[in-house]
């Protein structure tokens, strides 16, 4: 059983020593086979190979050479013969490619192929393998042309031809369009390029894949920040000169993800700016990707890193509340109170206001902000809405309570906490009418309001049951689908009031019940919140709900009822009713 991982409890991380495999393979330990071909033309599908030359090197030392003329099975064009010196008479008695290719593949087995303009040479080798029905070994390939373009400036050399680079780097052999000589020259060019790559932090085979990328040198030199990071799911924190947190991210493989920030794969300007500032990266290994996502969210909320854009200020979320008054009204608020109906939270006050407009479009709720007694001693002045029949004007009730407004308030309460169907149908009819009248901008505005209301109601109805549940324990098989871990174990999650309190993965084949008991015992204590607001960042609870909805999840323990209304806002989340009404209206017209 893996040691329990409890969120919310400060623990001292143990030191992590990366293995050589995790750090990558140093270039000095890689065996390269530098290959060059002479051919009858440039088309690999139609042409043939006339000569193969190759040099095997490791750590700067030559381990062996391979050279053979090849009968291409077709005439050598005159201009090729003049260029290479290889004539039809020379290849007439040479072995066929069917005899030479297996020998070369054996010579190059378990090595990294290198060529100058590798797509040409490798393309011919692959074509010959396909022609002879050989399986291509899937070599890693290094092309010296893009490396030279990245490292050799126009001031140093007018072009990046092999002959030009050989002169620049004082190669021991001058290329002459014969395979072995060109391969030997390419070896010297390769080693000279490696000498230029080392100061840029490119010292491992894995670095070569992105060595030719247009990455600023000051960014590439920081690749070493990823060297000691673990190959495990978790969170990583980029820290600045004052140890301040610049950026928080998460990944299923911390080291590989952090390495990508120093390559051309990272195209966000603000993140490139962040990498220039960063001094170190702190990893937080996690038992599961779910724990990593939750920790990322909490760390972003705690540190508010300037280069993160999401989830930094949960206190700015807005709710829509039906006020607790004699004649309730809708109000956009920053928090929830017990006993009141709420929907949300919304990511912005503007979106919350759109949901309020949607309810006002469908229900005759008052829109004034004054507190109105049940029976007024001094009647107020009816507003324009009352004149249009959109409000029963409870401010004018001087003899008895306005019972008609109570019915409107009850309908609003049901729409917020239960079935929003009447609101959806009313606004769907309005959208259909506006579309029929070709008032598309107004129809779009009503649609945005309806979507804001439905999404806010749906979110509150999802959050509320989990926020009210004191403890929920669930598990799913590990190693199946996107579930982490090895097959045969169980990913166990303890949730309290919508907050992740503990999680871990049991060992394959082990009884998971002792892990469940340990996690429940050591889980974080969580104070009950005021539903529908959970005891965590709403996005954290959203993550937990998504995990609970994933395939294979099984409930292990439940302290309270966990259910959503049968006729809930989720049934209208796709606005299918509104779409159907528009289609019917347009078909009739």
pLDDT at 180 over 80: yes
pLDDT at 573 over 90: no
| Phi and psi at residue 282, to the nearest 5° | -105, 120
Residue of 390, 375, 399, 462 whose CA lies nearest to 426: 390
pLDDT at 43 over 80: yes
Report pLDDT for 26.
85
Q: Which segment of 187-191, 201-205, 295-299, 529-533 scores lowest on mean pLDDT?
A: 201-205
Sign, CA dihedral 115-117-119-121, equals negative
pLDDT at 338 over 60: yes
Long-range contacts of residues 549-554, Cβ cutoff 8 Å, at least 24 apart: 550/476, 550/482, 550/483, 551/476, 551/481, 552/476, 552/477, 552/480, 552/481, 552/483, 553/474, 553/475, 553/476, 554/474, 554/475, 554/476
Give me the catalytic one of 116, 160, 170, 177: 177
Question: If phi over 0 gives left and psi between -120 and 50 gives alpha, with beta otherwise, what is residue 80?
Answer: alpha
Alpha carbon of 582 to those of 194, 421, 426: distances in Å? 65, 17, 13
How sure is the predictor about 7, in pLDDT bands with cuts at 50, 70 and 90?
Answer: very low
Question: If phi over 0 gives left and psi between -120 and 50 gives alpha, with beta otherwise, what is residue 24?
Answer: left
How sure is the predictor about 579, in pLDDT bands with cuts at 50, 70 and 90?
Answer: confident
Report pLDDT for 81.
92
How sure is the predictor about 66, in pLDDT bands with cuts at 50, 70 and 90?
Answer: very high
The residue-averaged pLDDT of 577-584 equals 79
Q: Could you report the per-residue pLDDT of 360-397, keeping only the tens digit for each?
A: 999 989 888 888 888 887 776 777 777 777 787 788 77
Q: What residues contact 508, with CB distance under 8 A and at least 6 apart?
A: 478, 479, 485, 486, 487, 488, 489
Question: If phi over 0 gives left and psi between -120 and 50 gives alpha, with beta otherwise, what is residue 509?
Answer: left
How sure is the predictor about 560, in pLDDT bands with cuts at 50, 70 and 90?
Answer: confident
Q: Which residue has the higher pLDDT, 378 or 461?
A: 461
DSSP state of 107: H
pLDDT at 2 over 70: no
Report pLDDT for 481.
65
Q: What residues contact 283, with CB distance under 8 A and at least 6 apart?
A: 16, 229, 230, 234, 235, 236, 254
Ordered strands of the 280-285 beta sheet: 245-251, 234-239, 280-285
Percent of the chain with pLDDT over 90: 61
Neighbours of 510 (CB within 10 A): 14
Buried-exposed string 298-330: b where 16+ CB fall within 10 A, e elsewhere: bbbbebebebbeebbebeebbbbbbbebbbbbb
Q: Could you report the per-residue pLDDT of 525-535, keeping only the tens digit for each?
A: 999 999 999 99
How sure is the predictor about 212, in pLDDT bands with cuts at 50, 70 and 90?
Answer: low
pLDDT at 16 over 80: no
Sign, CA dihedral 192-193-196-197, equals negative
pLDDT at 5 over 90: no
Mean of all residue pLDDT scores within the chain: 87
Long-range contacts of residues 213-219, Cβ cutoff 8 Å, at least 24 apart: 213/150, 213/263, 213/264, 213/265, 214/150, 214/264, 215/262, 215/263, 215/264, 216/272, 216/276, 218/276, 219/262, 219/272, 219/275, 219/276
Neighbours of 176 (CB within 10 A): 13
- DSSP notation for 177-221: S-HHHHHHHHHHHHHHHHHHHGGGT--BHHHHTTTTS---HHHHG
Report pLDDT for 387.
72
Q: Are 269 and 205 in contact (CB under 8 A)?
A: no
Residue of 323, 331, 320 whose CA lies nearest to 409: 323
Report pLDDT for 394.
82
Report pLDDT for 483.
67
Residue of 379, 374, 382 whose CA lies nearest to 326: 374
Alpha carbon of 367 to those of 33, 288, 581: distances in Å? 79, 48, 28
Q: Which segment of 224-233, 309-318, 348-357, 559-568 scores lowest on mean pLDDT?
A: 309-318
Report pLDDT for 471.
96
| 413 catalytic per annotation | no
pLDDT at 96 over 60: yes
Report pLDDT for 385.
76
pLDDT at 306 over 60: yes
Q: Which segment of 258-262, 276-280, 504-508 scores lowest on mean pLDDT?
A: 258-262
Q: Are 132 and 99 in contact (CB under 8 A)?
A: no
Q: Which residue has the higher pLDDT, 206 or 165?
A: 165
Q: What residues contact 448, with CB distance under 8 A and at least 6 apart?
A: 354
Alpha carbon of 380 to those of 188, 369, 539: distances in Å? 94, 13, 44
pLDDT at 17 over 50: no
Report pLDDT for 320.
96
The residue-averaged pLDDT of 285-311 equals 90
Alpha carbon of 85 to those of 38, 89, 117: distances in Å? 10, 11, 21
CA 86, CA 92: separation in Å to the nearest integer?
11
Tokens of 108: 């190059």
Q: Could you report the per-residue pLDDT of 128-163, keeping only the tens digit for each?
A: 999 999 999 989 999 999 899 888 888 899 999 999
Report pLDDT for 122.
95
Residue the block writes with tokens 């090895």 = 486
Strands 112-115 and 140-143: parallel
DSSP state of 495: E
Distance of CA 537 to the CA centre of its chain: 20
Neighbours of 87 (CB within 10 A): 14
Residue the block writes with tokens 């010296």 = 144
How sure is the predictor about 239, in pLDDT bands with cuts at 50, 70 and 90?
Answer: very high
């Amino acid at each position: 059983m893996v040691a329990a991982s409890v969120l919310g409890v400060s623990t001292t991380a143990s030191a992590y020593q990366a293995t050589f495999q995790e750090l990558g393979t140093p270039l000095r330990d890689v065996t390269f086979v530098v290959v060059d071909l002479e051919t009858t033309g440039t088309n690999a599908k139609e042409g043939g190979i006339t000569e193969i030359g190759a040099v095997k090197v490791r750590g700067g030392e030559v381990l062996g050479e391979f050279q053979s003329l090849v009968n291409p099975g077709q005439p050598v064009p005159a201009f090729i013969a003049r260029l290479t010196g290889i004539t039809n008479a020379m290849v007439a008695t040479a072995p066929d490619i069917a005899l030479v290719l297996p020998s070369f593949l054996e010579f190059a087995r378990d090595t990294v192929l290198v060529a100058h303009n590798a797509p040409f040479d490798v393309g011919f080798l692959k074509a010959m393998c396909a022609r002879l029905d050989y399986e291509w070994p899937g070599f890693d390939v290094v092309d010296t042309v893009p490396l030279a373009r990245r490292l050799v400036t126009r001031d140093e050399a007018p072009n990046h031809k092999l002959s030009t680079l050989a002169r620049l780097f004082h190669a021991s052999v001058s290329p002459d369009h014969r395979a072995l000589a060109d391969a030997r020259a390419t070896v010297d060019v390769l080693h000279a390029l490696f000498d230029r790559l080392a100061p840029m932090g490119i010292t491992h085979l894995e670095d070569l894949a992105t060595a030719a990328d247009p990455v600023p040198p000051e960014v590439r030199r920081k690749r070493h920040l990823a060297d000691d990071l673990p190959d495990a799911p978790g969170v990583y924190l980029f820290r600045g000169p004052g140890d301040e947190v610049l950026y928080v991210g998460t990944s299923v493989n911390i080291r590989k993800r952090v390495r990508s920030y120093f390559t051309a794969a990272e195209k966000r300007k603000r993140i490139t700016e962040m990498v220039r500032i960063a001094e170190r990266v702190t990893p937080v290994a996690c038992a599961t990707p779910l724990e990593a996502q939750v920790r990322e969210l909490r760390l972003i909320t705690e540190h508010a890193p300037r280069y993160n854009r999401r989830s930094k200020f949960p206190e700015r979320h807005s709710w829509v509340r039906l006020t607790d008054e004699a004649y309730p009204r809708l109000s956009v608020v920053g928090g929830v109170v017990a006993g009141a109906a709420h929907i949300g939270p919304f990511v912005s006050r503007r979106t919350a206001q759109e949901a309020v407009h949607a309810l006002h479009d469908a229900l005759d709720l008052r829109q004034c902000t004054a507190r109105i007694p049940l029976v007024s001693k001094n009647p107020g002045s009816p507003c324009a809405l009352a004149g249009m029949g959109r409000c029963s004007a409870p401010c004018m009730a001087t003899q008895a309570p306005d019972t008609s407004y109570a019915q409107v308030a009850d309908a609003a309460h049901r729409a917020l906490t239960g079935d929003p169907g009447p609101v959806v149908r009313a606004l769907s009819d309005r959208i259909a009418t506006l579309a029929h009248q070709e008032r598309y901008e107004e129809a779009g505005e009503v649609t945005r309001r309806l979507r804001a209301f439905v999404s806010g109601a749906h979110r509150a109805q999802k959050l509320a049951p989990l926020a009210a549940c004191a403890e929920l324990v669930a598990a799913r098989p590990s190693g199946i689908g996107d579930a982490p871990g090895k097959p045969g174990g169980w990913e166990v999650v303890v949730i309290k009031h919508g907050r992740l309190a503990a999680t871990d993965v049991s060992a394959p084949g082990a009884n998971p019940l002792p892990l469940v008991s340990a996690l429940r015992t050591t889980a974080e204590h969580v104070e009950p919140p005021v539903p529908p607001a959970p005891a965590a960042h709403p996005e954290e609870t959203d993550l937990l709900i998504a995990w609970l909805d994933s395939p294979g999840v099984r409930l292990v323990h439940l302290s309270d009822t966990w259910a959503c209304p049968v006729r809930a806002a989720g049934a209208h989340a796709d606005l299918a009713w509104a779409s159907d009404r528009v289609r019917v209206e347009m078909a009739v017209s």
